[in-house]
Homo-oligomer: A and B are copies of this chain.
Amino acid sequence: MKLFPLLCFLAGGLCWAQSAPDAKPASTNVLGAAYPQIDAEGRATFQLKAPGAQQVLVQLPQGKFEMAKSADGVWSVTTPPLIPGFHYYTLSVDGVSVNDPGSHAFFGTSKDASGLEVPEQGVDFYAAKDVPHGDVRSRLYFSKITGAWRRCFVYTPPGYDTSLAERYPVLYLQHGMGEDETGWMVQGRANLILDNLIADKKAVPMIVVSDNCYAARAGQAIAPLPGAPGRSGPSTAAFPDVMINEIIPMIDSTFRTFADREHRAMAGLSMGGNMTLRVTVPHLEKFAYIGAFSGTLNGLSTDPLDPATFFNGAFKDGAAFNAKVKLLWIGMGTAEPNPFPAAIGAFRTMLEKSGIRYVYFSSPGTAHEWLTWRRDLNDFAPRLFR
């Protein structure tokens, strides 16, 4: 794992304007786009034709990189080696954040943003391999609670269409803030991770459902952001109700599921981890498996939590919780920025005070990013429905 972020903030003078001879167009590029390119060391070279611009930057999670202009008006820069996995990024043209026309767009940071997949040498658990592949279905349903058509993505495992007597357990898998139901199936590669785990017999065949955490009752579309005092955004307030009373019944009546708590899991990343706990903890009659990836019930708060009172005392009786919950799984990257380590730490301390069992997984060298969450899913899914 390359240790990278600090280096890059300081790296202005170390950046190159030419890509290495072994550099290739990124897999996240649109068809025919030569840039961005990535070389064998994970260095990315960006280019943008902008003869009339005064200043062009690349803004990656790892830092900003000034681009240099050639005589023909093409701006370019090569970064130092980047952390592998998927990164959202933008170009800044004269101070305006814009997409890179060479990149596909991925819904994150509350817009369809450019994204860069940096290959991870010797790692293929999230690659398309020569194994049987499930389908990802886009499914429309009308929600009476929100008064709107909604869309979810449903992964059906290999064999679903041929083993017609078979029923399957279901994992509900939720995205983070500023993302939507596309996140896990595109940036997260959840379908490929499951295809590979199932082919290796490391996970049981399961259905995976990704829906959209943003769900508001009519006229209540904007709400205060949880854990961010003074800020507001699209509301997630109706989601627990939509999940329990609309999504689960719709999935169980549409797909060949086992419709009981022993065959139902929910997990999510960041805001989706918070949402997972908001949905599952009050409904342990419906869920036996819970995963919180880089996000817990206390959101961004790092205050100590008292199990006697926190979340209406839902965690105060550790023995009762342990008797019901077959798996509580918490994960985080070692390079996650504040407040995640302290907030998740406060939640873990609270669990430990009550003697609540949980699995803790640490992703080496990764921050609040998709490679953390791909690894989380790869560790979490094999533990389900055993």
A residues apposed to B, CB below 8 Å: 30-33, 48-54, 93-99, 101-105, 107, 110-112, 128, 130, 133, 135-142, 149, 154, 161, 164, 180, 185, 214, 221-222, 233-234, 254-255
> How many Å from the CB of A121 to the closest CB on chain B?
20
User: Known contacts A51-B95, A105-B99, A254-B161: does B137 contact A136 (CB below 8 Å)?
Assistant: yes
B96, B133, B222: the one contacting A53 at CB < 8 Å is B96
Residues of B within 8 A of A105 (CB): 99, 105, 112
**Interface pair B95/A53, CB less than 8 Å apart:** yes
Contacts A112-B112, A138-B136 given; does A101 touch B97 at CB 8 Å: yes
Bound state CA distance, A337 and B95, in angstroms? 37
Q: Is the CB of B95 within 8 A of A96?
A: no
Task: Evaluate contact between B50 and A95: CB separation under 8 angstroms.
Answer: yes
Give the 4 A-B residue pairs with the shortest CB-CB distance, closest first. A52-B95, A105-B105, A98-B98, A105-B112
Question: In the assembly, what is the distance between CA of A53 and CA of B92, in Å?
Answer: 11
Q: Is the CB of B96 within 8 A of A50?
A: yes
| A254–B93 CA distance with the chains assembled, in angstroms | 47
User: Out of B51, B94, B141, which one reaches A93, CB within 8 Å?
Assistant: B94
The answer to whether A110 and B50 have CB atoms under 8 Å apart is: no
For A154, list chain B residues within 8 Å (CB). 135
Residues of B with C-beta under 8 A to A50: 94-96
Report yes or no: B135 in contact with A234, Cβ–Cβ below 8 A: no
User: A105, A149, A180: which has the most chain B beta carbons within 10 Å?
Assistant: A105
A99 to B104 CA separation, bound complex (whole angstroms):
12
Report how far A233 CA is from B30 CA in the complex, Å.
Answer: 13
- Whether A135 lies near B133 (C-beta < 8 A) is no
Is A99 in contact with B96, judged by CB distance below 8 angstroms?
no
Q: Is the CB of A101 within 8 A of B95?
A: no
| Chain B contacts for A185, CB-based, 8 A | 138
Closest Cβ neighbor of A160 among chain B residues: B161
Question: Are A30 and B107 in touch, CB under 8 angstroms?
Answer: yes
In the bound complex, residues from chain B placing their C-beta under 8 Å from that of A96 are 48-50, 52-53, 93, 98
Chain B neighbourhood of A107, CB < 8 A: 30, 104
Measured in the bound complex, the distance between the Cα atoms of B49 and A174 in whole Å is: 31
Task: Compute how far the CA of A54 lies from the CA of B52 in the bound complex, rounded to whole angstroms.
Answer: 10
